Amino acid sequence: MNGRVLIIAGSDSGGGAGIQADIKTVTALGGFAMTAITALTAQNTTGVQGIHEVPANFVSQQMHSVIDDLGADAVKIGMLHRPEIIEAVANVLADKLPDVPVVLDPVMIATSGARLIEDAAVEALVERLLPCADLLIPNAPEAAALSGRIVETIDDAVAAARSMRDMGARAVLMKGGHLGGDTVTDLLFQGDDQSMRFTGARIDSRHTHGTGCTLASACAASLAQGLSLEAAVGRAHAYVRAAIETAPGYGGGYGPLNHAHTVRAD
């Protein structure tokens, strides 16, 4: 199906999240993945052992190199842990890709609990990147940090999504994995009269590392391929569920998904 996706995110040496998960997801869904790496991490299923910073001007250079030659049909943004990185990314997007759909995964805390963003970067994220986002995909803790609201129920999620849309995001996909109950509901909010719920039974698994990265990249790949927002989210939701259900079982902590479940070996 093709569809060029520029992924702007950090690297996960364990392969379960970040750039590695993004590339696997886009490829598994028939798209073409390109990257601008914002940080290197020493990371596995048990946690993040170290972060090596990438200079902001080199992030910009990576973006320019890709856009000027290959172009992009969608952008997926993940880990941007410093204000100067956020400024650099926002400037290039405004200059080079003002009309290309942007999927923003506001990566703040890893599945293991490690914090992946500086406090000062949260304000820059709200001011510079939320207005660029065609689709913002936070989990409950991220939504609480961005909206300033408590997010513990689906009603809380609706209120937080409304706040974040008022802050500039064109649409918000609230991930429901952190909310309680045997059923998980992802809420796509585009306005009070435009919302959809994607619901499924909670999967009892510790193999959930990189689910946010994977969901966002799946949405970006589908948008790059011309799907509507609703269809893109529905496809991404189904893809992630199957990836969790067929996870390979690696690692001693929060294990990776099976990103390749769409690929058949004949």
Strands 183-191 and 194-201: antiparallel
Q: Check 25, 38, 78, 175 and give the catalytic one.
A: 175
Q: Is 168 a catalytic residue?
A: no
Q: Is 211 a catalytic residue?
A: yes
Residue 59 has pLDDT above 80, yes or no: yes
- Average pLDDT value for residue range 50-56: 94
Q: Is 213 a catalytic residue?
A: yes
What is the layout of strands, in order, in the sheet containing 47-53? 47-53, 32-44, 4-12, 74-77, 102-104, 135-136, 172-174, 183-191, 194-201
Residue 266 has pLDDT above 60, yes or no: no
Residue 207 has pLDDT above 70, yes or no: yes
Q: Is 175 a catalytic residue?
A: yes
Q: Check 31, 78, 177, 210 and give the catalytic one.
A: 210
Q: Check 16, 211, 214, 255 and give the catalytic one.
A: 211
pLDDT value, residue 179: 87
Residue 205 has pLDDT above 60, yes or no: yes
Residue 134 has pLDDT above 70, yes or no: yes
pLDDT value, residue 170: 97
- Average pLDDT value for residue range 220-227: 98
pLDDT value, residue 34: 98
The end-to-end CA distance of the chain, in Å, is: 20
- Average pLDDT value for residue range 51-57: 95
Q: For residues 33 and 27, is the Cβ–Cβ distance under 8 A?
A: yes
Q: Check 38, 41, 45, 208 and give the catalytic one.
A: 208
79-131 residue pLDDT tens: 898 999 999 999 999 999 999 999 999 988 666 566 667 778 888 999 999 99
Residue 152 main-chain phi, psi, to 5 deg: -125, -15
Residue 1 has pLDDT above 80, yes or no: no
The rounded mean pLDDT for the chain is: 93
Neighbours of 212 (CB within 10 A): 26
- Average pLDDT value for residue range 129-140: 95
Q: Which domains does the chain have, with CATH numbers?
A: 4-257 (3.40.1190.20)
Q: Check 38, 45, 111, 213 and give the catalytic one.
A: 213
- Average pLDDT value for residue range 146-153: 92
Distance CA 67, CA 148 (A): 35
14-51 residue pLDDT tens: 999 999 999 999 999 999 999 999 999 999 999 989 99
pLDDT value, residue 40: 95
Q: Check 10, 212, 234, 251 and give the catalytic one.
A: 212
- Average pLDDT value for residue range 203-225: 96
Specify the range with the lowest mean pLDDT, choosing from 44-53, 118-127, 136-145, 209-218: 118-127
151-198 residue pLDDT tens: 999 999 999 999 999 999 999 999 998 887 899 999 999 988 889 999
pLDDT value, residue 119: 78
